[in-house]
Structure 1
């Protein structure tokens, strides 16, 4: 075995093996002070030799370290060899499963806990609800809510916060708001969860209205609340509200770290206030890749293509590693500026230099770039070489380029692809018909109009639910 750190080893060697559990707290303390799995293995061995492992308090400390440090399988072995595990041990495993790549195990563990007659507590439900959220199982969330009521935890703010978060993550904002409104004395966490829930579900107006109510009720928002409100302002285009939030932060001396600073940059950039976004960006002492992305994408979206590409160069000079979102911004900037060669180079560098596999958004930017430059055959080849099936948006970008460059041959193929994905997309018939008309192919125009008329007559007629009789 690897040696424990010297001070821990001395403490362990001073503990005499005994069948008594009177000294188990000292071993438990050592378990809490461990920094590696090898140290835990030595303490576990000492507990087995001294029979102290039969003390559930001592065993729970070992299990907690293993479960929450990534050694979940070992934690399960400790649990399975524990006679009558206590609720803390059950909760620890449920929490570890909920945070793992297999959250279904958290729900299975919770079911087994019930079968064994172990009562859940206020620390059980938030982790079970987290598992429901990760699995996107709304019915599980409702069932857990029923259990919360059954066990009398419907007045516990910690549990209620978990329920509200569960409902918002699953998109049931009505259910979340109903719970929120029923809480008579709300904690800051509950206010924040509801505001964040609205913002994350793109209900910006509701998020801003609730924030207004929060401030009126004299509840001081925290960083998470403010970041969510700024995100809502970015989504909804509420620049005025975003500026008021910024003033509110300055008046109360709110410390602007990376998260809030990035939220401000993103809010100003999305609303087109590029100078204010740049001022916030430039004033930040610490930035992460999300900060750089907010500024680069904001510049690109509002036509400042050269500035976006220049900022990308600065990012590389500072040794900041770009991610897939960075390249969406850079490729978008290349489209606006018509920088075909540089755009191709950036697209290639994603996988070669940065080991980032291009996603469908990057291919969309490349197709748009090639289409604008008139490289229609190359754009079509790019789409057909993609590992994913192209969506209507990508084929639509190519069709638009075909229209701009008058390439009927490729346009006809593209229209077939779009109709295979969306058979009722009559807009593509109109585009192709107009292209035929521009070059005088009136026979084809007439043929398309007949097809459109036939398609229109095949539509299911609308039915009124209102009776005409009195």
Structure 2
């Protein structure tokens, strides 16, 4: 193109940001500024979302200063992008001030602060926000909000509240539990040693549990030395993902910790005869999404 206006540049920056090409979005924004193109709300919000994903706090602050310097009106979209950027860079106090100062907020604004606060250990504040959100009655929570609330309950150890939110979310908010919500509950119950309850919850899912949910339960079993449930979880994981051979190593280590050497040897033979090797990269569900 021989000529490019703000709309063209914004379309490209937004396109990169929305497709998780954060480095490209930031690089194009820098080029846009060097060319003397005046950014608009959409381009600023898009590059802020890229900064949130990249951990680009310094650039995010510079953009915030630019907004103040040019006296750009911070509406819902731009304000939410700023809050999301600060939250994902751990600057919860700055995000709080922005949130309080916003004359208008949408569900994305609430979710950014609730989920971010929960993820970074500010569980009590996240739950207070949720209570405030319910009291204002202007905005109904969605499935992302509930993930944030359950994550906060997990960090705060509020099992009864988490149970109530999870079991009433469909009735109270019209939100059917998704795999992310089950993952949060399994993680919470597993951390507190309520492994049988967590297993029953997984069995009660309307669809087959995936490796993320089952992995969270297996991780909890290992932490609490619950071999019986772990054996059943391993069977389920292998049924869902037959190539996930790392579960044999996890179970073998659990057997070794209690001196069940015959079972250790049995699993080693299974792995040896099947030509199996441990797959690296084991992780469990942590409840982070915004």
Report the number of matched residues: 277
5 Å matches for 1:333-344?
333-344=152-163
Q: 2:30 aligns with which of 209, 212, 215?
A: 212
| 1:455 positional shift | 3.5
Query: What are the Cα deviations for residues 435-457 of structure 1, in whole angstroms up to 9, with x where unaligned?
Result: 10111001111111222233436
Q: How far, CA to CA, are the matches of 1:195 and 1:288 in structure 2?
A: 23
5 Å matches for 1:353-364?
353-364=172-183
> Residue 150 of structure 2 contacts residue 181 of structure 2 at CA under 8 Å; is this kept in 1?
yes
- In structure 1, the partner of 2:246 is 427
Q: How far, CA to CA, are the matches of 2:80 and 2:154 in structure 1?
A: 25
Corresponding position: 1:388 with 2:203: no
- In structure 2, the partner of 1:290 is 108
> Residue 271 of structure 2 contacts residue 277 of structure 2 at CA under 8 Å; is this kept in 1?
no
Higher relative contact order (CA 8 A, sep 6+): 2
Q: Which runs of 4+ in 1 moved over 4 A?
A: none
In structure 1, stretches of 5+ residues that fail to align are 1-182, 460-470
Q: How far, CA to CA, are the matches of 1:421 and 1:348 in structure 2?
A: 26
Q: How far, CA to CA, are the matches of 1:296 and 1:252 in structure 2?
A: 29
Corresponding position: 1:238 with 2:56: yes
Q: How far, CA to CA, are the matches of 1:215 and 1:456 in structure 2?
A: 56
- Cα 1:294–1:447, aligned 2, differ >3 Å: closer, same or farther? same
- In structure 2, the partner of 1:329 is 148
In structure 2, stretches of 5+ residues that fail to align are 279-290
TM-score w.r.t. the length of structure 1 is 0.57
Q: How far, CA to CA, are the matches of 1:453 and 1:212 in structure 2?
A: 54
Q: 2:68 aligns with which of 246, 250, 272?
A: 250
Q: How far, CA to CA, are the matches of 1:386 and 1:424 in structure 2?
A: 23
Corresponding position: 1:448 with 2:263: no
5 Å matches for 1:104-143?
none
Q: How far, CA to CA, are the matches of 2:55 and 2:274 in structure 1?
A: 38
Q: 1:227 aligns with which of 45, 56, 79?
A: 45
5 Å matches for 1:75-94?
none
Q: Give the match's secondary structure for 2:4.
A: coil
Query: What are the Cα deviations for residues 281-310 of structure 1, in whole angstroms up to 9, with x where unaligned?
Result: 111111111111110001000011111111
Q: How far, CA to CA, are the matches of 1:457 and 1:323 in structure 2?
A: 42
Q: Give the match's secondary structure for 1:353.
A: helix
- Cα 1:373–1:457, aligned 2, differ >3 Å: closer, same or farther? closer
- Cα 1:398–1:446, aligned 2, differ >3 Å: closer, same or farther? same
Query: What are the Cα deviations for residues 172-197 of structure 1, in whole angstroms up to 9, with x where unaligned?
Result: xxxxxxxxxxx221122221111111
- In structure 2, the partner of 1:25 is none
Q: How far, CA to CA, are the matches of 1:458 and 1:193 in structure 2?
A: 46
Corresponding position: 1:407 with 2:226: yes
- In structure 1, the partner of 2:282 is none
Corresponding position: 1:376 with 2:195: yes
Corresponding position: 1:264 with 2:82: yes
- Cα 1:432–1:250, aligned 2, differ >3 Å: closer, same or farther? same
Q: How far, CA to CA, are the matches of 1:185 and 1:224 in structure 2?
A: 20
5 Å matches for 1:59-78?
none
Over aligned residues, Cα RMSD in angstroms?
A: 1.5
| 1:418 positional shift | 1.0
Q: Give the match's secondary structure for 2:170.
A: helix
Q: How far, CA to CA, are the matches of 1:450 and 1:187 in structure 2?
A: 66
Query: What are the Cα deviations for residues 311-344 of structure 1, in whole angstroms up to 9, with x where unaligned?
Result: 1111111113211111110000011111111100
- In structure 1, the partner of 2:186 is 367
> Residue 87 of structure 2 contacts residue 112 of structure 2 at CA under 8 Å; is this kept in 1?
yes
| 1:397 positional shift | 0.3
- Cα 1:229–1:370, aligned 2, differ >3 Å: closer, same or farther? same
Q: How far, CA to CA, are the matches of 1:239 and 1:450 in structure 2?
A: 51
- In structure 1, the partner of 2:7 is 189
- In structure 1, the partner of 2:127 is 309
